[in-house]
Chain A
Amino acid sequence: MEHFIQQIVNGISLGSIYALMALGYTMVYGIIKLINFAHGEIYMVGAYIGYALTTFFNFGFFPALILSMILTSLLGVVIEKVAYKPMRNSTRIAALITAIAVSMFLQYGMMYFVTPQTRSYPNILPDIQVSLFGTNAVVDIRNIYILTVTIVLMLLLQYVIHKTKTGKAMRAVALDGDASQLMGIDMNKTISYTFAIGSALAGAAGVLVGIYYNTINPLMGAVPGLKAFIAAVIGGIGVIPGAVFGGFFLGVTETVVSALGGSLYKDAVAFAILILVLLIKPNGIFGSNQREKV
């Protein structure tokens, strides 16, 4: 039982990371129907920025997190302007290939600058552990930080999307680009905002993962990027609550599978779930069957 509770705690932390990244995938897909395969690399760059800030500039946790989010959001906007915008009117497969190219460019570009060597995050959070319900299952301060930051960011996102003018414009463009332009919404600006917000969330996930697992390397974004993509598809790509659900679901499932002795199979389980969801409910658990109304 203790073991199980412990794995749930770990799973929620991992799930937070997946959920933060899945949000970026799903928002970008919602607005320009592109699977941004470079998203995992933005997360990696976020982790490196956090590393540099805490190691070389002695930043604390929150300043490092926030600055890293700002810089990754800029990176996201630049990637969109340079790589994706020129492809907007071409076929979707061309845009997808471009995204894969950007992903590799960032992986190996980063490797050139920071070397492929693994680096360890400094310990910037105090060493506090709390045992749960008087058992031996412990919640580390890191678990609490990850979950709190994730929840705060999600609430913030929810506020931006539903209450602000920019957020409403983002939803409108996702629903109908032409009609949005007829309302006076500037598509380019709105797409930039979407990339900025999605990338900032990935940057935050990068810093959190650096603090949680301690080690980072230039290829660290590839697998979590795919997992977050799976999470977004499980929840229903383009649907924001779906991405959050998918992220936590996948995180908890993976750690539970590992705990049951199947750690070698945890990736296989993730993909098996994806295949199942695609077979049973191709639009994802939260996705609606969209019928066009004439």
Chain B
Amino acid sequence: MLEIKNLNVFYGGIHALKDISLKVNSGEIVTLIGSNGSGKTTTLRTISGLEKAKSGEILYENQNIVGIQASDIVKMGISHVPEGRRIFGTMSVLENLEIGAYARTDKENIKKDIKKVFELFPILYERRSQNAINLSGGEQQMLAIGRALLSRPKLLLLDEPSMGLAPMIVKEIFEIIKNINNSGTTIMLVEQNAKMALLNADRAYIIKNGRIELEGKANDLLNNELVKKAYLGG
């Protein structure tokens, strides 16, 4: 579904991504793991068109999407939940969701999809007319995911969905991610919480200083000594 070939990206004069190649197959959960500043976020931002690639290809459904502007990439079926959630704070929960469906014109189906999001996250329904900034961290993450789902993505890019959340909530968020995947959406997940990510993903890539260091099945990496030492805390 998505294939990145020899991607190079410069970010404020820094060579942030060095010849990165990776692949996401349809139906998978693929995770990209690495420490702070390793290039995880830049990878997602380049896929969704927010950063420009210096060289390399990003093939999505066999079409090179490098150079297409972000607002058009959404319409092709890639939805990106950005790092830090980036919800529209002074707009209501419902308005946030409506904006999520901005690229669509099928009004009736949008209403149905918003209903579905409310079924997935009942707490959002309760708070639908509140300003998004007043939600708790976990609720904001749910809103960010719900908002991204409203563009009806085939591929969902998640950037650190567990950031700043209590362990209980992290569990809940990962269950939701699993559910979304089971209903047919391919997921690419960027995480610092390597354990949670590996437990839930099918395959994984490990990125360090802008290079892919290791790749493999999530289960195998979970038992890999090197990974254990560097990312799983022993």
Contact = CB atoms under 8 A, between A and B. Distances in A.
Nearest to B164: A294
Given A181-B49, A184-B74, 19 more contacts: A165-B102, A168-B99, A176-B88, A178-B50, A178-B86, A179-B88, A182-B74, A182-B79, A182-B80, A182-B82, A183-B100, A183-B102, A184-B71, A184-B75, A184-B103, A184-B151, A185-B99, A186-B69, A294-B164
A132 interface: no
Contacts of A181: 49-50, 69-71, 74
A184 B91 CA distance: 17
14 contacts: A168-B95, A172-B88, A175-B89, A175-B90, A176-B88, A178-B70, A178-B86, A179-B82, A181-B50, A182-B70, A183-B74, A183-B100, A184-B102, A294-B164
A179 B74 CA distance: 11
B84 interface: yes
Interface of B: 48-50, 69-72, 74-75, 79-80, 82, 84, 86-91, 95, 98-100, 102-103, 133, 147-148, 151, 164
A30 to B, nearest CB: 11
Contacts of B50: 178, 181-182
Given A175-B89, A175-B91, A176-B86, A185 B71 contact: yes
A interface, over-half SS: helix
A180 B102 CA distance: 9
Interface of A: 165, 168-169, 171-172, 175-176, 178-187, 293-294
B91 A183 contact: no
Nearest to B103: A184
A293 B131 CA distance: 14
A172 B69 contact: no
